[in-house]
């Protein structure tokens, strides 16, 4: 009996380690995330809550009807529903966001290192796009579209993408991402707002900029959303 248990644990551990590049595929109906290992039964992604203690609330999130505050330098706000705010998402390979855009606000160029994103516009008009990885000839191709209410667009995993509100009214979009924890790298913040700062010399060469401009950019207040 004990041997069978150990074998199961070993197989689960192996399965989890093989699947590390993406969220592991679920090996059971659900695996509600829990921080206290004492209340956990086994490990797969985050600890799994003992199924006997699981409640409907573990699969529930309230509040995506409430707009985020877009009063910030970029004029957008992302409300995230991921494994940290909805523990039942653990190991299921999916999450969700609401994005609010002030008139002419934008969700600046960023990538999700672990997820593809599918977005639907429910209010307003967005100019959206993504850029490919470096092509054989060294170029990076831009794919863009203007989206209206009801339009859907996909941003492939890992690629730099953005959405900008090109209308005079606020815009709202919802999106699903193919990871319980997609991660976000906002390009400008990561490059110019890194702590401690990247040597300005390095950035001056990379961006073909005067070092003074780089230093000035590094002194900006970088908000992340």
Ligand X SMILES: *[C@@H]1O[C@H](CO)[C@@H](O)[C@H](O)[C@H]1NC(C)=O
| Helix axis angle, 200-207 to 211-218, nearest 10° | 110
> Which residue's CB is nearer to ligand X, number 111 or number 225?
225
Rounded to the nearest whole angstrom, what is the least distance from the CB of residue 74 to ligand X in the complex? 8
- To the question of whether residue 181 is assigned a binding role by annotation, the answer is no
> Which residue's CB is nearer to ligand X, number 5 or number 221?
221
> Which residue's CB is nearer to ligand X, number 68 or number 93?
68
**Three-state DSSP class for residue 41:** strand
- To the question of whether residue 106 is assigned a binding role by annotation, the answer is no
- To the question of whether residue 65 is assigned a binding role by annotation, the answer is no
Rounded to the nearest whole angstrom, what is the least distance from the CB of residue 66 to ligand X in the complex? 7
Contacts of 141 (CB under 8 A, 6+ apart): 131, 132, 135
CA dist., res. 2 & res. 16, Å (int): 21
Report the relative pairing of strands 33-34 and 46-49 from DSSP bridges: antiparallel
- To the question of whether residue 117 is assigned a binding role by annotation, the answer is yes
Rounded to the nearest whole angstrom, what is the least distance from the CB of residue 89 to ligand X in the complex? 20
> Which residue's CB is nearer to ligand X, number 189 or number 223?
223
Q: Is 48 exposed, middle or buried (0-12, 13-18, 19+ CB in 10 A)?
A: buried
Residues that bind ligand X in the complex, under the rule CB under 6 A: 68-69, 72, 77, 223, 225
Q: Binding site for Mn(2+): residue ranges?
A: 110, 112, 117, 161
């Amino acid at each position: 009996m004990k041997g069978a248990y150990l074998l199961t644990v070993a197989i689960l551990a192996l399965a989890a380690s093989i699947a590390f590049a993406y969220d592991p595929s679920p090996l059971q109906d659900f695996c509600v995330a829990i921080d206290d290992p004492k209340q956990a039964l086994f490990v797969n992604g985050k600890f799994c809550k003992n199924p006997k203690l699981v409640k409907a609330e573990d699969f529930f999130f309230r509040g995506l009807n409430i707009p985020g505050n877009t009063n910030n330098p970029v004029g957008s706000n992302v409300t995230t529903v991921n494994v940290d705010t909805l523990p039942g998402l653990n190991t299921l390979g999916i999450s969700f966001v609401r994005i609010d855009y002030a008139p002419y606000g934008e969700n600046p160029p960023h990538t999700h290192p672990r997820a593809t994103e599918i977005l639907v516009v429910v209010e307003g008009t967005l100019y959206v796009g993504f850029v490919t990885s470096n092509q054989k000839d060294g170029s990076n191709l831009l794919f863009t579209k203007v989206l209206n209410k009801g339009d859907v667009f996909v941003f492939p995993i890992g690629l730099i993408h953005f959405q900008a509100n090109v209308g005079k009214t606020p815009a709202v979009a919802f999106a699903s991402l193919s990871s319980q924890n997609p991660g976000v790298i906002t390009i400008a913040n990561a490059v110019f707002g890194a702590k401690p700062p990247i040597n300005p010399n390095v950035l001056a060469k990379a961006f073909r900029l005067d070092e003074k401009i780089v230093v000035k950019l590094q002194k900006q207040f970088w908000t992340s959303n």
